[in-house]
């Protein structure tokens, strides 16, 4: 509703209202973070001004001493945080403070449970920034002016956090943003010089922007002099030996806009080689809410010679490492570099290769030294890392060492196995890494294709994530051992072929006799099932089940076929092979069955059961049920 030509009252976006409510009620136990969040935003605004001023120095407006200032008024009960950064126009202030433009916001909010402790963790992944003001304030006033605009383009934004806010044009002489918090009753602890300085040094000591407060005399009286409260030195430029774990953690929260501590980090300063750079890279403890959003942005903060250039630069790490947060500071790039130039600059490939190496080194170290921590990482980011073999051929073997899978060896204690673990447990004569794909781990565990492997204590990897087939398709072997699906090909296990020549001869003789004995049954089944199958043969992989379906060695699995169909991709369907177990009572009964109609019914049931066992839908469930009911009635008589 328009109040006059310059002021209007607007409503928050529905998602903002919901977020405000959650922030106030979930984060109240750690109220002091409001100051960290507002200082972090002010720091970002100053970084953006520095970058913009590289091409337009006039934006400094004769004021190039960049700083964040914090004051408080015990009488008015206010705290003011101001910066002389890039500032905001009227349109930007409405967009930035009245709406949330992040992709997947609604999906994120739908995950919130109402449990304040759990929701606080989720909100930390989302990043609330400015809205943390309302943890301690019942009214917030923001004055801002965009650098380069005249003083008459100042904007005043005010809200009590109750669902509405007002925006008005004002005169503002200085560029930048000034936020004034009117504190709630009971939050006067922050109207204290020592308390504010303590919060600043605790959370923001690492920022390379000076944070200023008015100097006070020993008896607490204000002077006219400003003094720097924080160290004001870029943390990544300091020697590792001089940075504490707490400082590393707080810098992560600033750079990642996360409330939780990082899982791990790696800090490198490389000089005198082919390329000079400093980098500080972090692994988050939890996956961000938008990790799987296609249009979400990820990447590192880029600095050139300590000057901030741009945020979320994706060129320095491949997509499968998009969860990594941190900064890169280099002298190898020009100060006026743009996203377009980044695509082709000759230093990018060298920097990218070095950063990938640092991340993989860190992951290998965690996997070796702290398996429990690595299990935490894998739970959050394992499926992202699995994209690596397809995307990064040069590091395929290193990535393979970091992959983890469920297996028949680990299923009893719900652990995950590395490929190194698997190879260490292989049979002396085993030449392949065996795996099975399924919709879920339970389906994989109960597959009839595993029977001969269980009987002979041969480990099989249980691949139940959608991406797993993609992984083995791009990682055909590991340490010289080829991957082999237990549900593909005419399986002949070298591991269980008798070494004794006489025993081997006996086995071959038995195979020949069974093929002769079941020749007619195989022919009958082939005729009954028609074009449903490609072939019928005796099985070498079944011990307790009567039948299973097998694919050609190079054919798609049923799971991959369904995924591609769901995605609208054209596929060439290859009919499966039906394998039957000559030792099974049901197959023996079929062999002896003289009634062609009953043989037909039993054969179709056998085929439908094989479909169900591999996780595929049966084409006519009603017909399957009718056949079963009919046979039960016959058997009961």
pLDDT at 492: 67
The side-by-side arrangement of strands in the sheet containing 68-73 is: 7-11, 164-170, 154-159, 137-145, 176-183, 78-83, 68-73, 211-216, 222-228
Rounded CA-CA distance 249/107 in Å is 28
Q: Is 30 helix (H, G, I), strand (E, B) or coil?
A: helix
- In the DSSP assignment, the letter for residue 210 is -
426-431 long-range Cβ contacts below 8 angstroms, 24+ apart? 426/459, 426/481, 427/458, 427/495, 429/494, 429/495, 430/458, 430/494, 430/495, 431/481, 431/482, 431/494
pLDDT at 290: 72
Q: What is the 3-state secondary structure (H, E, C) of 492-526?
A: CCHHHCCCCHHHHHHHHHHHHHHHHHCHHHHHHHH
Enclosing H/E stretch for 253:
helix 245-256
pLDDT digits (tens, 9 = 90+) for 254-295: 888 888 899 999 999 998 777 899 999 999 999 887 777 766
pLDDT at 126: 54
- State pTM to two decimals: 0.78
Rounded CA-CA distance 525/546 in Å is 13
Which single residue is written with the structure tokens 């795996």?
435
Q: Is 596 helix (H, G, I), strand (E, B) or coil?
A: helix
Ranges of the chain whose pLDDT falls below 50? 1-5, 103, 124
pLDDT at 608: 93
pLDDT at 2: 38
Q: How many other C-beta atoms lie within 10 A of the C-beta of residue 124? A: 22
pLDDT at 3: 39
pLDDT digits (tens, 9 = 90+) for 82-107: 999 999 999 999 888 876 655 455 55
pLDDT at 105: 55
Considering only CA atoms, which of 401, 278, 262 is closest in space to residue 351?
A: 278
C-beta of residue 325 within 8 angstroms of C-beta of residue 252? yes
C-beta of residue 489 within 8 angstroms of C-beta of residue 550? yes
- In the DSSP assignment, the letter for residue 218 is T
Residue 624, CB-side half-sphere exposure with 13 Å CA sphere: 13
- Chain-centroid distance of CA 475 in Å reads 21
pLDDT at 192: 94
Question: What value does the CA radius of gyration of the chain take, rounded to a whole number of Å?
Answer: 33
Domains assigned to the chain: 7-233 (3.30.565.10), 236-370 (3.30.230.80), 403-496 (3.40.50.11260), 498-637 (1.20.120.790)
pLDDT at 99: 66
């Amino acid at each position: 509703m328009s109040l006059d030509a310059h002021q209007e009252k607007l409503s928050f976006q529905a998602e903002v209202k919901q977020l405000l409510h959650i922030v106030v009620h979930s984060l109240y136990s750690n109220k002091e973070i409001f100051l960290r969040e507002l200082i972090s935003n002010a720091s970002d605004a100053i970084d953006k001004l520095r970058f913009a001023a590289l091409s337009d120095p006039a934006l400094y407006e004769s004021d190039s001493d960049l700083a964040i200032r914090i004051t408080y008024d015990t009488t008015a009960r206010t705290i003011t945080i101001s910066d002389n950064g890039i500032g905001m126009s009227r349109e930007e202030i409405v967009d930035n403070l009245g709406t949330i433009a992040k992709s997947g916001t609604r999906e994120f909010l739908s995950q919130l449970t109402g449990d304040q402790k759990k929701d606080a963790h989720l909100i930390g992944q989302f990043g609330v920034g400015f809205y943390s003001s309302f943890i301690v304030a019942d009214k917030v006033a923001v004055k801002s002016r965009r650098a380069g605009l005249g003083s008459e383009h100042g904007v005043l934004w005010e809200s009590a956090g109750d669902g509405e806010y007002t925006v008005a044009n004002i005169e503002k002489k200085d560029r930048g943003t000034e936020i004034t918090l009117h504190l709630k009753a009971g939050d006067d602890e922050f109207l204290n010089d020592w308390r504010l300085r303590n919060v600043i040094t605790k959370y923001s000591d690492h920022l390379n922007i000076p944070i200023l407060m008015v100097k006070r005399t020993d008896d607490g009286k204000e002077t006219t002099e400003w003094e720097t409260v924080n160290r004001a030195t870029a943390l990544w430029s300091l020697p590792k030996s001089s940075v504490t774990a707490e400082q590393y953690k707080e810098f992560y929260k600033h750079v990642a806009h996360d409330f939780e501590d990082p899982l791990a980090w790696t800090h490198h300063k490389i000089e005198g080689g082919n390329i000079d750079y400093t980098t500080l890279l972090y692994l988050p403890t939890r996956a961000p809410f938008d990790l799987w959003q296609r249009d979400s942005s990820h990447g590192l903060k880029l600095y050139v010679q300590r000057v901030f250039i741009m945020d979320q630069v994706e060129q320095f790490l491949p997509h499968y490492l998009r969860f990594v947060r941190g900064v890169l500071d280099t002298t190898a790039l020009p100060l006026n570099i743009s996203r377009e130039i980044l695509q082709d600059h000759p230093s990018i490939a060298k920097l990218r290769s070095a950063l990938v190496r640092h991340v993989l080194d860190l992951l290998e170290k965690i996997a070796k030294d702290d398996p429990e921590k690595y299990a935490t990482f894998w739970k959050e980011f394992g499926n992202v890392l699995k994209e690596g073999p397809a995307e990064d051929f040069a590091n395929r073997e290193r990535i393979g060492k970091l992959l983890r899978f469920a297996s028949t060896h680990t299923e009893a204690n719900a652990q995950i196995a590395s490929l190194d673990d698997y190879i260490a447990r292989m049979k002396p004569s085993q030449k392949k890494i065996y795996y099975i794909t399924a919709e879920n781990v339970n389906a994989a565990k109960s597959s009839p294709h595993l029977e001969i492997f269980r009987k002979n204590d041969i480990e099989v990897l249980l691949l139940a994530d959608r991406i797993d087939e993609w992984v083995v398709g791009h990682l055909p072997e590991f340490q010289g051992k080829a991957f082999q699906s237990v549900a593909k090909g005419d399986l002949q296990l070298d591991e269980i072929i008798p070494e004794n020549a006489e025993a081997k001869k006996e086995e071959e003789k038995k195979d020949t006799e069974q093929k002769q004995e079941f020749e007619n049954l195989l022919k009958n089944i082939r005729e009954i099932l028609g074009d449903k199958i490609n072939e019928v043969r005796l099985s070498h992989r079944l011990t307790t089940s009567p039948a299973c379906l097998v694919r050609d060695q190079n054919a798609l699995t049923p799971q991959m076929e369904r995924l591609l169909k769901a995605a609208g991709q054209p596929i060439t369907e290859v009919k499966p092979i039906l394998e039957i177990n000559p030792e099974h009572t049901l197959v023996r009964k079929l062999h002896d069955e003289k009634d062609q109609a009953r043989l037909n019914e039993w054969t179709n049931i056998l085929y439908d059961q094989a479909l169900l066992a591999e996780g595929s839908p049966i084409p006519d469930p009603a017909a399957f049920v009718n056949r079963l009911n009919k046979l039960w009635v016959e058997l009961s008589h």
